[in-house]
Amino acid sequence: MSAILEVSALSKTFKSGSRAIKVLDDISFQLEEGRSMSIVGPSGSGKTTLLGLCAGLDRASDGSVSLDNVVLNQLSEDDLAQLRNQEVGFIFQNFQLIPTLTALENVMVPLELRGEKNIAPFAKDLLSRVGLGDRFDHYPSQLSGGEQQRVAIARAFANRPKILFADEPTGNLDEETSDSIEALLFEINKEQGTTLVIVTHDDALAHKTDRILKLKGGKIVS
Amino acid sequence: MDKKTKIQPSKYSLTWPLKMAWRDSRKSKGKLMLFILSISLGIAALVGITSFRENLLQEIDNQAKSLIGADIEVKGNQPLPDSLMLAFYELAPEMSREVYFASMVYFPSTDGTRLAQVRALSGKYPYYGAIETKPAAAANEFQKGKYALVDEKLMIQYSVEIGDSVKVGEGKFKIIGRLQKIPGQTDIGATAAPVVYIPYNQLDQTDLLKKGSRVNYLSYFQFSSKVDTTGKWSKLIAEADDKGYRIDDIEERKEDTGRAFKDLTNFLELVAFTALLLGCIGVASSMYVYTREKVGIVATLRCLGMKSHQAISIFLIQVSIFGFIGSLIGSLIGVGLHVYLPELVKEFIPVDLEPTFSWLAVTSGIAIGVVVSVLFALISLVSLRNVSPLQAIRSDTESMKVRFDKIQLGVGLVIFLFLLGLVYLQIGDLINAAIFTAGLLATITILGLIGKGLALAIKKLLSDSIPYVWRQGLSNLYRPHNQTSLLITTLGLGTAFIATLLFMQDLLVDRVSITGAEDRPNTVLFDMQTPQREEIKQLTLDYDLPVLQEVPIVTMRLEEINGIMKKEAEEDTTVNIRDWVYDREYRITYRDSLIDSETLVKGEWTPRIEPGDSIFVSFSSGWAESLELEIGDEILWNVQGALIKTYVGSFREIDWRRVQTNFLVLFPEGVLERAPQFHVLITRIQNNELSARYQQAVVRSYPNVSIIDLELILKTLEDILGKIAFVIRFMAFFSIGTGVIMLISSIVLSRFQRMRENVLLRTLGASSRKLWKIIIAEYFFLGALGALSGLLIATILTTLLGKFVFEFVFVPNFGQMLVVTLAVTFMTVLIGLVNSRDVIRQSPLEVLRKEI
């Protein structure tokens, strides 16, 4: 099985006034296609920064990230956007649905960005799959937190990504809802054979993944 | 890791941003509606005024011939000499003569007297257009007997009917027609100086033409198509000009009329432009807040693979479409305005105006609306290209900032050039356009800086000892996401504009009002001949009226200044003396002392001259300044044929606002006593009934004497000013209306910032009463500070206008300023409260859900 995500000697430094703060220091790992991995660690350990760099949302200070054999460092912002649209799915802690679009339209957006036609039936299927078959025309403000995250899951899988990044996907949800969201996430992931990278504080969720990457002070500790 | 595979090219659909623009706008209808309104009033004013101007210039062009009524008009204060008459006759064989002068007319049937413009006409004038009368035939008939045509309004005012008679001087004429319109005259002109036409061959019957009388002689000519005027025409004009005659032809009259109304339309267009610019600032401020709200959406879409230009294109499409809708609505209102405007100004214009639809005005209005919407929105929208997808997972507020960069400066420069071009197209003068545009943008910048400065000052000076609600309200002015600078700019600009209009109107009214209202003289008798002087004085005293002033007047022309005659002044480019200095007729008096409206500012006043002495005269200081005269300069006068050499002896400052005879040039006693002269007497009459009786008595016994009733003139002037003020106020409504919309828009858009804080305070237990107080405090400070900033700008602007344009000193009226400040503050607080009522009345959760 080939590696879909290769991270090599990755560092990220932020400047705060005249001070340089190294948030990630010499991180290297590989993740094979179809596998799942969780990134855990205390607050401020660099989890979200690492996720952002792996997904091409930010640029590294040193080292490199290769996603599906594409070296991200060498890509322009627009190329990165295109890569995300073709290969990557996202799930956010605060759902990040577009408030001015209905649930159905939110799910259709990644496909529309790819220029695909007749996508409504597929998007409706996905929404039905996450249990929201009767909420197509509802706006995010008319949905509960759990329902919003379900829409986000449907949207994340809409472009059939090779890799899915989830940042604290259950961080804003109660335990019961969290369980059902986790179950749904892993179920669809398995169905579609997607690689999964999750940032979480939740040990139970982390233990459901194939591999756990533990960060502390910007370094891999295990 | 050096491997790199190719990314699949996107099949991105061009219609997708359009679809997204529509979807996104569904939840932003209210905000975008304000955007539409911001732009539509400005465009309405612009389209209305542009259509009106086009229409007016077109009609002046179409009706040019009837503005003058002939091909050429020759005007002078002497009849045309035979040599010139013959020369004109060769070029234009068809001619008419007219003599016109101001005189009292008397209506025996109702015992009414009134100063009127008497016109004695012979010939077939007008050759183009018509003297419109009721009945129509009267215009041709009146020259066939001892008949008169009398201005219709004058007849109504004095209850005179057709068939009654009018007495002009010693002549009595039967009225056979009501005069409705004469070529080139406006309604307002007819109100100020009503016309009475009599036949030219009956002029002697009036016995009014005496030596020294102020009379204008006109000759109207119509060209013959058979006569070749090439080369001869300009020579003849020069010859007539040399002899002191003024020649007007159709082209010149058209240009003069066009120029006169160009000033009016330019002013109205600048008012419209200001309304548009206020709207643009509304657009820019709406888009700034709108863009900030959209950062989160853009960050998410960037995560999902959207490119930066696609993000901008979504909102640019929205702006273009809503800008188009706003401009279209504005254009429709503008077309309606254009239909109403001719009605509004019909009394001021000398042509009949039928509103015609101007496609050019409408299409250019829509185009300008869309372009300014896009340009002003772009300032904020281009910053969206910097939104990082990382902002979707990093929700800290600092990263949600809209950052400004060089491209925005470039957009700013394009905006400046576009506005400059727009103003240039309106006023046709690049330097003035640049001054106006730069001044306006500088004002906006100053107001923005005042806003920033105030926020900083409050932050530094805010004391903990101030009660909580006031402290909370004040601190909202400098806390993150504050709208202080923006609201101070919008409020300040709106206030500055309204206050400047108010101040200017007050100053202009004050300028024409006359000092010493209670015991001021109100009746002036002029054209009294020397033998009549004592008799009229006695008549005045018999009516128990005071003789407040009685002065002799001698008319003369200026022949040379320091030996320079008109011809030399024209030929020598180093001499800066204009033609009219020589052409005008000077009415001059003589006396041995200065009066209380005069102050000697330079030189020495010579009260009396003995035979053989050099003659030192006194000039008005303002007049001397414009002629660049110095003490000791030599002036040669032509006193009705006799040449008198004088020297500039002194300069006097004159208070022209006092009702008394004031003179540009004052002679000492001992020089002009024997020159042909007439006299002026000034009195004060307490009531209308006595005034009517006195005027009738004077006119009956001395028909050559004219009486100016200052009360009537002031009333007419007030009437005219009132009508002009209404036109200005009507147009200003568009700017003020846009200002109010802009204010609502800014407050509505800033609501989102305050909403969360207020909801949080409510959640923490703040009572409704406390929240109301905090909101009132915040908007009270914003309103008051905005109004005061605007008043500061208005004061500077009015002072500058007063000093450099109208030549007066502006003294601020603090009462008026207080009223403006209170009105703007009250309106701001009211709009703020109306917009915040949801926060107070509903549950916090409900509010937060609604806001998304």
B28 contact residues in A (CB cutoff 8 A): 100
Alpha-carbon gap, residue A83 to A54, rounded angstroms: 12
Give chain A's length.
222
CA A112/CA A81 separation, integer angstroms: 14
Greatest alpha-carbon pair distance for chain A in Å reads 54
Nearest CA in chain B to A65: B1
- CB distance A52–B307 less than 8 Å? no
Q: How confident is the model at residue A29 (pLDDT cuts 50, 70, 90)?
A: very high
What would the two tokens of residue B169 be?
């001087």
- Cis peptide preceding B126, ω within 30 of 0: yes
* Neighbour order of strands in the sheet with A88-91: A88-91, A163-167, A195-199, A36-40, A211-216, A219-220
What percent of chain A has a predicted confidence (pLDDT) above 90? 41
DSSP states of B622-686: HHHHHTT--TT-EEEEEETTEEEEEEEEEEEEE-TTSSS---SEEEPBTSSTTS--EEEEEE---
Instruction: Write out the DSSP string of B318-377.
Output: HHHHHHHHHHHHHHHHHHHHHHHHHHHHTTT-SS-------HHHHHHHHHHHHHHHHHHH
Question: Which tokens go with B181?
Answer: 């319109």
Q: Pick from B1, B25, B304: which is nearest to A113 by CB? A: B304
pLDDT tens-digit readout, B73-115: 888 878 888 888 888 887 777 889 999 888 888 898 888 888 8
B627 with B561: CB under 8 angstroms? yes
Rounded to an integer, what distance in angstroms lies between the CA atom of residue B18 and that of residue A135?
A: 24
CB contact under 8 Å between A115 and B3, yes or no, is no
User: Can you tell me the mean pLDDT for A138-158?
Assistant: 90
Query: Per residue in B379-401, is it b (16+ CB within 10 Å) or e — as a string?
Result: bbbbbbbbbbbbbbbbeeeeebe
> Domains of chain A (ranges plus CATH)?
3-220 (3.40.50.300)
Calculate how close chain A gets to B452, using CA atoms only, in Å. 24
Instruction: Enumerate the β-bridge partners of residue A6.
Output: A30, A66
Distance CA B390, CA B558 (A): 84
Q: What is the pLDDT of residue B729?
A: 67
Kind plus residue range of the DSSP H or E element containing B200 = none
ipTM: 0.81
Q: Give the pLDDT score at B2.
A: 43
How many other C-beta atoms lie within 10 A of the C-beta of residue B574?
4
d(CA B342, CA B353): 6
Main-chain dihedrals φ then ψ at residue B170, nearest 5 degrees:
-90, -10
Q: Is B226 on the interface with A (CB under 8 A)?
A: no
Contacts A–B by Cβ distance under 8 A: 130
Which whole number is the average pLDDT over A156-180? Answer: 87
Whole-model pTM: value is: 0.70
Q: Of chain B residues 287-306, which have a CB less than 8 A from chain A?
A: 296-297, 299-306
Cα within 13 Å of Cα(B501), Cβ side: 23
Among candidates B142, B160, B147, B152, which has minimal Cα distance to B106?
Answer: B160
Mutation to test the B interface, candidates A5, A82, A200, most B Cβ within 10 Å = A82
Low-confidence ranges of chain B (pLDDT < 50): 1-5, 397-400, 514-516, 851-852
Q: Is B307 on the interface with A (CB under 8 A)?
A: yes
Hey, what amino acid is at B306? M
User: Do residue A109 and residue B301 have CB atoms under 8 angstroms apart?
Assistant: yes
pLDDT bracket for residue A10 (50, 70, 90): very high
Q: Amino acid identity of A82? A: Q
Q: How far is A142 from chain B (nearest CA, A)?
A: 8
Find chain A residues with C-beta within 8 A of B301's C-beta: 98, 109, 113
Quick check: A114 and B388 CB within 8 A? no
Q: Mind listing the pLDDT tens digit for each residue in B372-398?
A: 889 988 888 888 888 888 887 765 534
pLDDT score of B4: 45
Answer yes or no: do B2 and A71 touch at CB < 8 A: yes
Partner residue facing B12 (CB), from A99, A110, A115:
A115
For residues B218 and B246, give the distance between their C-alpha atoms in angstroms, rounded to a whole number: 10
CB-CB under 8 Å, B308 with A82: no
Q: Which of A52, A70, A155 sits opposite B5 (nearest CB)?
A: A70
Residue B466 makes CB contacts below 8 A (sequence gap 6+) with B474
Show residues of chain A in contact with B23, CB under 8 Å: 100-101, 105
Question: By three-state DSSP, how is residue A66 classified?
Answer: strand
